Structure 1
Amino acid sequence: MKFKLKAILALSLLPQIVLVKWLSNYPLVIEKYYSQGIYSYISGFFRFTLGRIPFSVGDILYASLLFLGLRYLILKRKCIWNNKLNFLVNIGLVIAVAYFTFNLSWGLNYHRVPIAKALKIEENKSRKDLLVFVNTLINHTNNIQEKIAGDTTKIITTPYSTQEIFDKTLEGYKSIEKIHPFLKYENPSIKKSIFSSTLSYMGYGGYLNPFTNEAQVNALIPPFRLSVISGHEIGHQIGYSAENETNLIGYLVTLHNDDIYFKYAAQAYALSYCLSDIKRNDEELFYKLLPKLNKGVLKNYEELTNFWKKYENVTEPVFKTIFNTFLKANNQKDGIESYSKVVLLLVSYHQKYPL
């Protein structure tokens, strides 16, 4: 490719950014013509073609690109040094093409109409309503834990393989579709990430590959939490990018599963987010609520805490900072904190649809 053409394509990044920023002011347009239009065909195509492949094509794609990139830097280092401008233009070209592909294949969903509109609810910031909901959740979570274990002190061990959890998650989507048709999910493409260990060290439960539309799940995570994460990543596939929204979707899909272990996982998941929210704002109240939980429930929380502690390392904060910046750059002003904003949706949702 000629230098002039590469330079033009590299510089196209700037008008692309401006265009996306301008489009973000028109969520109804994005909703109608992209999220429910172009994106539905693109995602459907990739899920239909790649969903049948048992391994993660996206993981292999990323690994191959990383390998080729490093190989190029090593073998061409002298050439790069002697042609710095050409190298910078090549980098700009790659970024511009990746940015265009990202937004076309998935990224514009960050600017669609919020899920609260589809559910006809509004975020509820009432601390009083949150406390009422938390006490309800504590009762439900305790009851189902004791029902499964027959003992309030026993930890719940989900008796399913990763693939069985994936299959049951799909059943959950069939159930939730009857309540909320816009959450319909077809042509499944959910897979174990080849890099589950890497994701664990980075502190991630999974991710959606925006270029292949494969839902990647960290298969090392305890099954107790894996069910909700699977529902969360599929939530990204059906076009919801905001983390608080896919947290809600993952919860609802798991809650509306006929399987009792899934129901327990969903309620314990929602409860953990609500308790964390209370702890941030009122530690005294948090420590008053904590003794109300069955010891078996607390043991499940401890299991998750111990899992993440095992993978703690000095690089994790770096990856979290990068992801935080990425989210803020894509219309999620709260960054990583947006995950916890699911509490506002949970309280409002269950005022409309009581547990």
Structure 2
Amino acid sequence: MKDKLRNGIALSLVPQLLIVFWLGNRPDLVESYYSKGIYPVISEFFRILFGWIPFSIGETIYTLLIILAVRYVFKNRRRIKKHPWLFLRNVVLVFSVFYFTFNWVWALNYYRIPIAEQFAIRDSVTPSEVVDLTEQLILKTNRLQLEITGDSTEMVEVPYDREAIFDKTVEAYGRIQKELPFLAYPFPSLKKATLGALASYMGIGGYLNPFTNEAQVNGLTPVFRLPVVTAHEIGHQIGYAKENETNFIGYLVTMKNEDIHFQYSAAAYALSHCLSAVRRTDEQQFEKLFAKVNTGVQENYRELYEFNLKYANPFEPVFKSIFSTFLKANQQKDGIKSYSKIVELMVGYHDKFPIFRPDENNYDK
């Protein structure tokens, strides 16, 4: 490649940044022409292309690129030392190509119209509303746990392997699209993360490879949490980039599943977010609410806590800090805290669609 072309590609990063910044202020254009126009074609193409392959093509590509990059630096170390500006130009060139591809094949979805508008719900709440929703979710989660186990002190064991959970989640998307067409999920591509242990050490339950549109799910995650994680990653595949929105999609699709174990997974997941939200503002209120949670539900939370503790390491905060910076750079000003913003969406949704029917007894006897 000639130097003029290399320089041109590297310099193209500047107009790219300006265009993406402009699109960030025009969600109507992104929604109409990209998220509902170009992106579905791209994502379905990649899912058809790679979905049938049993292992992750994306992880294979990442591994090869890392090896090639290390080999290049080692092989050209003297030249790099002699011409550092040329090396910097080449780095910018690579980043420019990466940035263009990343936005074109997936990341412009960060700038689409918020999902709250598609559901016609509000996304602003008061502390008392969070407490009210928490109390409702405690009732819901306790009832599901007791119905499954018959003993309020017994931890729920999901009786499915990971492949069955994948299949049941895909089926749930098939049913929910009749009610919510914008959650349609044709040509599934769900895969267990090859590097599950590494993902666990990084504190990752799953991720979407934006360049191959493969949803990677960490199979080491406690099984009772896997249904929501799986539905969350599919949410990314169908074009929702923000973490609070895919958390909400994961919760909603899993809660609407016909299987009671999936409903429990969703309720326990939603409850954990609400309890955390209460704890951040009122520790005493949190203690009162947590005391109402069945011991069996608490045991599932303990299972998840012990799993996270097992993989805790001094580098995890670094990984989370890097990811938080990435999220802030992509329209999520709260960074990694945006995961917890699901609470606002759940309050708005259940204000419009109550957890319990009007004729249903909401109180434990």
What TM-score bracket applies, with the shorter chain setting the length? over 0.9
Using the TM superposition, give the Cα deviation of residue 83 of structure 1 relative to its aligned residue in structure 2, in angstroms. Answer: 2.3
Which residue identity lines up with residue 102 of structure 2 in the other structure?
F
Aligned position for 1:76: 76
1:197–1:220 CA contact under 8 A, matched in 2: yes
CA-to-partner distance for each residue in 1:129-171, whole Å, 9 max, x for gaps? Answer: 2222111110110011011111000111111111111001111
- Distance in 1 (alpha carbons) for counterparts of 2:199 and 2:13: 29
Residue matched to 2:106? 106
Give 1:323's aligned residue.
323
Partner of 1:142: 142
Paired with 1:63 and 1:230, the residues of 2 have a C-alpha distance of 24
Tell whether 2:163 aligns with 1:163: yes
Residue of structure 2 equivalent to 1:175: 175
- Give the aligned residue type for 1:336: I
Listed as ranges, the matches of 1:39-58 within 5 Å are 39-58=39-58
Give 2:310's aligned residue: 310
Number of the residue aligned with 2:63: 63
* Secondary structure class of the residue paired with 1:141: helix
The normalised TM-score by structure 1 is 0.99
Counterpart of 1:140 in structure 2: which amino acid? K
Report Cα offsets for 1:194-249 as digits up to 9, x if no partner: 11111111111111111001111111101111110000010000000010000000
Question: Tell me, what secondary structure is at the counterpart of 2:182?
Answer: helix
- Structure 2 partner of 1:264: 264
- Aligned residue for 1:160, secondary structure, equals coil
- Cα offset for 1:190? 1.0
Amino acid in structure 2 at the alignment position of 1:98? F
Q: Does 1:85 align with 2:94?
A: no
- SS across alignment from 2:215: strand
> Which residue in the other structure is 1:246 paired with?
246
1:10-38 Cα shifts (integer Å, max 9, x gaps): 11111101110011111011000000001
Specify the alignment match of 1:235 in structure 2.
235
Aligned to 1:19: 19
Q: List, as ranges, runs of 4+ consecutive aligned residues in structure 1 with deviation greater than 4 Å.
A: none
Q: Aligned partners of 1:322, 1:183: CA distance in 2, in Å?
A: 30
Amino acid at match of 2:156: I
Query: What is the aligned partner in structure 1 of residue 350 from structure 2?
Result: 350
8 A contact 1:173–1:184 mirrored in 2: yes
**Identical positions, percent:** 54
- Superposition pairs for residues 280-291 of structure 1, below 5 Å? 280-291=280-291
- Aligned partners of 1:142 and 1:201: how far apart in 2? 31
* Paired letter, 1:155: M
Give ranges in structure 1 of 5+ residues lacking alignment: none
Partners of 1:78 and 1:127 in 2: CA distance:
60
Give the SS at the match of 1:157.
coil
Compute the displacement of 1:78 (Å).
1.5
Range with bigger deviation, 173-182 or 144-153: 173-182
- Paired with 1:175 and 1:11, the residues of 2 have a C-alpha distance of 47
- Do the aligned partners of 1:215 and 1:233 also contact (CA within 8 Å) in 2? yes
Measure the CA separation in 2 of the matches of 1:300 and 1:124: 30
**Distance in 2 (alpha carbons) for counterparts of 1:157 and 1:67:** 41
Instruction: Give the letter for the 1:130 counterpart.
Output: V
1:2 equivalent in structure 2 = 2
Count, aligned residues = 355
Matched, 1:95 2:109: no
1:352 Cα offset (Å): 1.1
